[in-house]
Structure 1
Amino acid sequence: MAVLADVSRETRERLEQYADLLLRWNARINLVSPHDLPHLWSRHIGDSLQLASLIPPGGVDLVDMGSGGGFPGLVIACATDANVTLVESDQRKAAFLREAARVAGVKVRVCAQRLEVADVPPAQVVTARALAPLSRLLAWGTRFLQPDGVCLFLKGRNAEEELTMARADWHMATTRIPSRTNTDGVILELSDIRRVRDHNNE
């Protein structure tokens, strides 16, 4: 399987156990669109796995926002030594994430709360995939991000438009990394994130 060509045997086994469980649960909980199930590895797991190489080693703290079926947070947990917290408000999906982590043999914290109120300590890395426009991601993400931290967001063809809109409210250093799984996709690596000052309130 090309998606797993560069991962260790242990990572491969964890991801396979996770994927098997997802396929079983998907009949009861809409974790992945039935239309996308034939592309589970390339479109979802492979897409999420791209972030693993961008996670610093050494057990950094990572918060994944809106984890849903585990993309990208649980995939990252399977492939790295990061201390991953998955924030997912849907109680059924949160239950799946806990069981998937157990089956795959990875330690994660599942926070079953809304992003606006989730009680999660600040982390070095914040991730998200297919969750919301960039401006909203930054408003949520800065709650969980350490001052010197980095956001890694998987985005599609509207990434540049979202960046333009977000810059009305946010300063940030931006690195664009082309997606290896989607010709229209990009990974946005954002750092030095801060709100634009309201000149009327200076």
Structure 2
Amino acid sequence: MTPADFQSLFGVPRETLDRLATYEALLRKWNPTINLVSRTTLADAWARHFADSAQLFALVPPVTHTLVDLGSGAGFPGLVLAILGVPEVHLVESDQRKGAFLREVARATGAPVTVHTARIEAAKVPSADVVSARALADLSDLLPMAVRILKPGGICLFPKGKTAADELTRAGDSWTMRVERFPSRTDPAATLLRLSDISRRD
């Protein structure tokens, strides 16, 4: 996928595409030093990382103000969602070097993000309308982290691979939730989960 393909797929304005191109250039510059993403996926970064993250934007409720992205790594999907227009995004990443990368991208692109270089359980983040996480953990492990910071009525956005159904089954032993499934636009084997009304079973 090229930047032009990305722009055609998501209909973003030129200014937004330029900010994402700045992000991509920094990703390529920093990746050999701190291994932000695998080299195989870097070769097709616009599809594997930028489009894969951007497809979540349509699932973010219009009234969303605050999004917290857990285990942000190289910033996918949280930093992309901030550049696309989520007003306030908090990126939680325990690795100091990755945190430095995220701050540099935020500075270069003007993205409205706050970077928290702390473990998820120790991060001091505000209550969130949306919690996101990509390739971080099994759903059963994600939900306890997410509900701790989720506002009443908030949602979780979790892209999942072919294990999505199994993860939902396991999580259902301990949690009740409303589950919406959306097909991925970048990976036919993947599913985008939007979870709401999340609570522990008695």
Normalised by the shorter chain, which TM-score bucket? over 0.9
Distance 2:61 2:106 in 1: 21
Determine whether 1:148 maps to 2:153.
Answer: yes
Q: What aligned pairs does 1:151-170 form with structure 2 within 5 A after superposition?
A: 151-170=156-175
If the length of structure 2 is used for normalisation, what is the TM-score? 0.95
* Counterparts of 1:119 and 1:108, CA distance in 2: 14
Q: In the alignment, which of 8, 27, 31 is matched to residue 26 of structure 1?
A: 31
Instruction: Using structure 1 for the length normalisation, give the TM-score.
Output: 0.95
Q: Which residue of 1 is the match for residue 76 of structure 2?
A: 71
Q: Distance in 2 between matches of 1:3 and 1:160?
A: 29
Unaligned regions of 5+ residues in structure 2, if any? none
The residue matched to 1:28 in structure 2 has which SS? helix
- 1:58 Cα shift? 5.1
Contact 1:57/1:81 (CA < 8 Å) preserved in 2?
no
SS of aligned partner of 2:176: strand
Among 121, 133, 137, the residue aligned to 2:138: 133
Q: Distance in 2 between matches of 1:170 and 1:57?
A: 26
- 2:198 pairs, out of 193, 197, 200, with 193
The gaps in structure 1 that reach 5 residues or longer are 198-202
| Corresponding residue number in structure 1 for 2:66 | 61
> Quick check: 1:57–1:82 contact (8 Å CA) kept in 2?
no
The aligned counterpart of 1:81 is: 86
Structure-1 separation of matches of 2:93 and 2:5: 29
Q: Tell me the secondary structure at the aligned position of residue 75 of structure 2.
A: coil
Identity %: 52
Aligned residues, how many? 197
1:142-190 CA-to-partner distances (Å, cap 9, x unmatched) read 1110011000001000000000000011100000011000000111000
In the alignment, the residues of structure 2 paired with residue 56 and residue 15 of structure 1 have an alpha-carbon distance, to the nearest angstrom, of: 22
In the alignment, what sits opposite 1:112?
117
Q: Aligned to 1:26, what secondary structure does the other structure show?
A: helix
**Match in the other structure for 1:200:** none
Q: Which amino acid aligns with 2:40?
A: H
For residues 95 and 58 of structure 1, the distance between their equivalents in structure 2, rounded to whole angstroms, comes to 30
2:176 and 2:162 map into 1 onto residues whose CA distance is 22
Over residues 3-30 of structure 1, what are the superposed CA-to-partner deviations in whole Å (9 max), with x where a residue is unaligned?
2211111210110000101100001111
Q: Distance in 2 between matches of 1:186 and 1:59?
A: 22
Q: 2: CA distance between counterparts of 1:120 and 1:47?
A: 25
Partners of 2:66 and 2:86 within 8 A in 1: no
Q: Which position in structure 1 is the counterpart of 2:183?
A: 178
Q: Which amino acid aligns with 1:79?
A: L
Give 3-state SS (helix, strand or coil) of 1:62's partner. Answer: strand
The aligned counterpart of 2:6 is: 3
Q: Contact 2:59 / 2:194 at 8 angstroms: preserved in 1?
A: no
Distance 1:155 1:4 in 2: 24
Give runs of ≥4 in structure 1 deviating > 6 Å: none
